[in-house]
A and B are shown apart, each in its own frame.
Chain A
Amino acid sequence: MKNLLSFGSYEPGKSNSHSGVNSRINESNLFESVKNIDFTNLNEQEKADLDRLAEEHGICTFDLICMREGIGYDSYGQPLNEEEIDAEYESIDEGFLGGLLKVVKNVIPKAKSIIAKAKPLFQKGGKISQGLQGAFGKVQAGIAKLAGKSKTLQGLIKNADSNPELAQSADASQEGLGKVLADLKANGAKAFFSPDNAATVQNVASLFNSTSQTASEVKKAAPKLAEPEDADDDDDDDDDESGI
């Protein structure tokens, strides 16, 4: 498998060449290793291994989680290209609230430029990592699917919590934050020495930035979109408490 995890600088098949015996991380095949790892429950050796790998290869835990979940990466851990990421939501019927899809499509590039503007401080010069790119794609796909399924904005909001694409992005951010929090609790201020932690929280912040912006744009656009008088979503009869 030729991907970013077949690290050329390490001897293939020689696992844990830099790791202690307690690590479950096999550097010669990290993709296989991460498939079975809960990033919020790493031991000290594994945290150290991950941080070092992040430093050496320009990836971070957030990306590894995305890779494991197939967000921005295929089932072999290979990066998807932009067309492949976009294809998922473009193939979905726009449905009744079709106008929303157009709104959502415009939000992500805007979010990218916002992140780029934070580049004096942010790692990778504001560049979007593969995992984050994939997470954006999932959010777009999720909202597009909801727009296709829902009859009203209220319904879209109510259905958001059962949407698998949004769930993937939410879970990845949750686990990424969990990893950093665990490191903070275990290692205190030393955890700040880790570029992996900085990159992971940066990616999560970028994801939240784009999703909340999406929500804001959707809110602004919704009143302008025609809704049928007899609109009646399956489960939209309660008050909206979802936070969109």
Chain B
Amino acid sequence: MGNLLPFDTYSSIQKNSQSINESLRSGDFSFESLNEKELLELDYMAETSGLCTFDLICMQEGVGYDKLGRPMQYQPDYEIEGHLYEDETGWLAKEVNKQTAEIKPKVTEALKGLQLKPTPAVDSLIGMYITGLKKALAKNPKTTGKLFDIANTLPEHKKVVKILSNSYSKIIKDNDARLQSSLFSEDNKATAGNLATVQNAIKEVVFNLKEEGNKHGEKNKISQSVVNPKPWTEADLKAAEAKA
């Protein structure tokens, strides 16, 4: 297996982003086949470089990072093409556009809440999901169900699934190899936090679209018990902080 870390010192990762990018993109590298030493090295990198496995997987897939592994100034397809889809498909496209705008501030706040540094990866991955929805819109679906059915077949959504699957696999593998110690991993914390943020963001988009669909005569089942049960009040939050 190609060595993920052709670095003299781990702390040089940021200076050597091109090298790590080359390692990640070499045909024989797989996050699913890391050995215990490599898992430990990944954790060490997370602690010292500010990157986590989630970012590395995104780098490998060219999500948020260019072909040389440099962070992209991301300009997603949906921002370029969004108006076109909106004109063609009415309320459904408008709602997708609205979700695009609304989800990003929530994602930023969630990452901040989890004390995670926003990286190009999360932004790009959510952008990629939205792009998939936009492309599905171009097929002129009449319902949210049809929209999702089309979107699920598109490469953008398949790539999102692949990246998240690889991230899950890394944590599970780490847990297998290192038992309880994996709980204390900075890398797992950051990777799981990013996973949870992306997955909850997508869930939020899906539910909001379904809700809008119901306003237009669809009969999507939406559970408020999970989506919107009693949130913490400010008093709850202050009490938790005071206790801390």
Segment 125-180 of B: residues with Cβ below 8 Å from A: 132, 148, 151-152, 157-158, 160-161, 164-165, 168-169, 171-172, 175-176, 178-180
CB of B226 within 8 A of chain A?
A: yes
Q: Shortest distance in angstroms between B102's beta carbon and chain A's nearest beta carbon?
A: 10
Stretch of A71-79, A90-98, A188-196, A229-237 lying at the B interface: A188-196
Q: Is A242 in contact with B168, judged by CB distance below 8 angstroms?
A: no
Task: Tell me whether A112 is interfacial, beta carbon within 8 Å.
Answer: yes
Contact between chains at B107 and A170 (CB < 8 Å):
no
B117 on interface, CB distance cutoff 8 Å = no
Q: B183, A173: Cβ atoms under 8 Å?
A: yes
How far in angstroms is the closest Cβ of chain B from A244? Answer: 5
Within 8 Å by CB of A120, from B110, B180, B196, B203, lies B110
Q: Are B203 and A192 touching (Cβ within 8 A)?
A: yes
Specify which of A109, A160, A201 is in contact with B240 (CB 8 Å cutoff). Answer: A109
Complex Cα gap A56–B227 (Å):
10
A41 at the interface (CB under 8 A from B): no
Identify B168's interface contact among A56, A118, A177, CB under 8 A.
A177
Binds A, one of B67-75, B80-88, B186-194: B186-194
Whether B5 sits at the interface, judged by CB under 8 Å, is no
A-contact 0/1 string along B97-113, CB 8 Å cutoff = 00000000111011111
Task: Check A121–B201 contact: CB distance below 8 A.
Answer: yes
Q: How far is the CA of A122 from the CA of B196 in the complex (A)?
A: 8
Q: Is the CB of A243 within 8 A of B203?
A: no
Give A107 Cβ to nearest chain B Cβ, in Å: 8
Taking a contact as CB atoms under 8 Å apart, the answer to whether A125 and B181 are in contact is no
Q: Which 8 interchain pairs have the tightest Cβ spacing?
A: A125-B231, A117-B113, A118-B113, A55-B223, A205-B196, A121-B110, A215-B184, A212-B189
10 inter-chain pairs at a CB distance below 8 angstroms, sorted by A residue, are A117-B114, A119-B113, A120-B105, A125-B229, A125-B232, A127-B232, A169-B180, A189-B151, A189-B161, A205-B114
Please list the residues of chain B having a beta carbon within 8 angstroms of any beta carbon in chain A: 40, 43, 105-107, 109-115, 132, 148, 151-152, 157-158, 160-161, 164-165, 168-169, 171-172, 175-176, 178-186, 188-189, 192-193, 195-197, 199-204, 206-207, 221, 223, 225-232, 236-237, 240-241, 243-244
A residues near B (Cβ < 8 Å) are: 54-58, 60, 106, 109-110, 112-127, 139, 142, 157, 160-161, 163, 166-167, 169-170, 173-174, 177-178, 180-181, 184-185, 188-199, 201-202, 204-209, 211-216, 241-244
